[in-house]
Structure 1
Amino acid sequence: MRLPLATLEIFTAIARHGSLRAAADALDIKPSTVSHQLKALEDQLGTALFIRTTRSISLTEAGRALIRGAGPAFEQLSEAVESARSTGHAARGTLKLAMPEFAYHLFVAPRLESFCAAYPEIELELSLTDALSDILGEELHAGFRLGGRIAQDMVAVRVTPPLKLAVVASPGYLEIHGSPSQPRDLLDHNCIRYRFQSAGRIAPWEFQGKDGAYSVDVQGNLITNTLPSSVDLAKKGLGLAYTFRDYLTDEIAAGTLTPLLEKHLGTTSGIFLYFPREYRTMMPLKLFREHLTGT
């Protein structure tokens, strides 16, 4: 038997409000509709649910049995509907985000303290990974990626300008091995390479020349799959790293890393926040986006 949800809702309203007319008023339908639907439910069940007199209406034994189960169930359904209606429309709830570690350190982390202070009822869950997250499959709300790696069916909001690239090494490494003066000189150095977690390929080291962009097939005895580890290995003097200059502001200022080949380096697309179109009005995401971008 298919559950007669519409007629069960009417039955529950009659039992709660004590009359067919009161149930009709509560549901904003005609009293004749209430009477018709109640008869249809009783016919389907093969039993009377109410004892009706000229002055009152009361539940039968079958009616009391049905209300014991249907009443709490409809309360739960009502709560579920209200929860669905309110979810994402208030400054509270959970916001699940995926981001590369470098994006977290470079752009998100400096803004988290003020966001959490402004919206203490929003729970942030951060998935830090350099892999290309499937935010729908992983039940996430949004993610951060470089602009060229975002699917066309996602909304993309720029959160940084194009990022300047950098090749860096520690002063100790340069003292022993010298500094490259041209990108091709990197072939004589130990270069710490980066392997994309999703694609599995080694990231190219790209440079700008008079004829446009080109890459150098660098080599070395160290490969990582996160930028923070590449930077850490470079700081230890184990080789040269290729990453984003803004990510290294503190290390360069402190002198623990030295930028190289600066006139030969260009920019990459910058970081974007991306999310499904259906989440454009989700309040926690909207507030987070506005807090990051100031718009």
Structure 2
Amino acid sequence: MQRLPTYGIEVFLTIVREGSMRAAADALGVGASAVTLQLKSLEERLGIELFFRTTRSVALTDAGKVLFEAAAPAHRDLIYAIKKTREMAQSTTGTLRLSLSRGAYIGALAPALKEFLAENPGINLDLSWNEELVDIVRDGFHGGIRMGDVLSPDMIAVRITPTVKSAFFAAPNYLKVHGVPKCPRDLLHHQCIRHRHLTSSTMHQWWVTQDGQDKLIDPPARLIFDSAAGVIEAARDGHGVGWSMKAAMKDYLKTGELQTVLEPYAKDLSPFYIYYPMQNKRVECLKVLVEFLKDRSKKHPGN
């Protein structure tokens, strides 16, 4: 595709506005020779002269008048667009679109949300709960919140929580019938409820900490869900034993609808991170949220 000869338009318009080459050079903060060279280059690329020149003044040719009448309004619109774009990048007012799982909301954002919204009344959050990993660039998100073990390496990632507590859990009525597992091997004889990742279609791996080492276990699944929330709900209904982030079931633990098992073997999970593409690092609203969550994590390391 042939490129338009637009380089030098700003010099041309400045000469018209200021009335001379030297005055244009002063306005642009460059030497007079640079203005002359840029104008000459523009005329050569257009194939026509734009000014009548004398030693004291310049005047537009007919071609120059045509270019000025069309280019001046377009240049004003361009300046306005650049100004608004810069204001958007620097503004602490606007809407941030974030992709996050239910677990990320409960474990990383929810504890900080009330305080953040109170401190930043000009920032709105547009939150999309997605259990699968989404392409945040393609789908128009400013960023996302996920555990660190599932992040794409081409993203900027900032840690915002400590490691996350996990738990094996089941309903009391299930445990009354099937017994309480005493060690990870006992899970082979229980009805286990597991979670399949939507993005990769692979089963969410179960881990335990045993004898000072992290070990992978793979008990057979009686029920499989495509979300951790489904696992928790099915366990509450008495269908078996599940494993997930402990904070995600805290309400059911308080009411006694669920209880934890195998507590000495529960492995800590990866921390949560807020992540975003390089091109969004100058979005001021996003910077405000990132710094807020990072600072809060330092002040409240246990939350």
Compared with structure 1, are the counterparts of its residues 60 and 121 closer, same or farther at alpha carbon in structure 2 (3 Å cutoff)? farther
Q: Give 1:75's aligned residue.
A: 76
Q: Give 2:35's aligned residue.
A: 34
**Alignment RMSD:** 3.0
1:5 aligns with 2:6: yes
Query: Identity of paired residues, percent?
Result: 38
Distance (Å, rounded) in 1 between the aligned partners of 2:69 and 2:63: 10
Q: Give 2:258's aligned residue.
A: 257
Note the alpha carbon deviations across 1:94-132, whole angstroms, 9 max, x for none: 433322221112221332333233333334333322223
Compared with structure 1, are the counterparts of its residues 193 and 72 closer, same or farther at alpha carbon in structure 2 (3 Å cutoff)? same
SS at match of 2:114: helix
Q: Give 2:301's aligned residue.
A: none
The aligned amino acid for 1:13 is T
Aligned residues: 295
Q: Give 2:196's aligned residue.
A: 195
The aligned amino acid for 2:246 is R
Q: CA deviation at 1:10?
A: 1.4
Q: Give 2:170's aligned residue.
A: 169
| Gap regions ≥5 residues in structure 1 | none
Moved more, 243-252 or 69-78: 69-78
SS at match of 1:267: coil
Note the alpha carbon deviations across 1:205-261, whole angstroms, 9 max, x for none: 222222633344323432112112221222222322211112222221121211112
Q: Give 1:98's aligned residue.
A: 99
Q: Give 2:130's aligned residue.
A: 129
SS at match of 1:6: coil
Moved more, 104-113 or 50-59: 50-59
Distance (Å, rounded) in 2 between the aligned partners of 1:169 and 1:202: 19
Structure-to-structure mapping, 1:138-149, within 5 angstroms: 138-149=139-150
Q: Give 1:110's aligned residue.
A: 111
SS at match of 2:90: coil
| Gap regions ≥5 residues in structure 2 | 299-303
1:291 aligns with 2:286: no
Distance (Å, rounded) in 2 between the aligned partners of 1:66 and 1:105: 59
SS at match of 2:89: coil
Contact 2:7 2:42 in 1 (8 A): no
Distance (Å, rounded) in 1 between the aligned partners of 2:137 and 2:44: 45
Compared with structure 1, are the counterparts of its residues 238 and 52 closer, same or farther at alpha carbon in structure 2 (3 Å cutoff)? same
Structure-to-structure mapping, 1:146-157, within 5 angstroms: 146-157=147-158
Q: CA deviation at 1:26?
A: 1.9
Q: Give 1:275's aligned residue.
A: 276
Moved more, 27-36 or 66-75: 27-36
Moved more, 138-147 or 220-229: 138-147
Distance (Å, rounded) in 2 between the aligned partners of 1:259 and 1:270: 21
Distance (Å, rounded) in 1 between the aligned partners of 2:122 and 2:18: 37
Structure-to-structure mapping, 1:43-82, within 5 angstroms: 43-50=44-51, 58-82=59-83
Distance (Å, rounded) in 2 between the aligned partners of 1:120 and 1:58: 53
Moved more, 281-290 or 210-219: 210-219
Contact 2:5 2:46 in 1 (8 A): no
Moved more, 48-57 or 285-294: 48-57
Contact 2:195 2:203 in 1 (8 A): yes
1:227 aligns with 2:228: yes
Note the alpha carbon deviations across 1:2-38, whole angstroms, 9 max, x for none: 4332322111112333443332222122334434443
Distance (Å, rounded) in 1 between the aligned partners of 2:48 and 2:208: 82
Note the alpha carbon deviations across 1:78-98, whole angstroms, 9 max, x for none: 234444545533323443332
Contact 1:189 1:220 in 2 (8 A): no
Contact 2:168 2:244 in 1 (8 A): yes
Contact 1:170 1:237 in 2 (8 A): yes
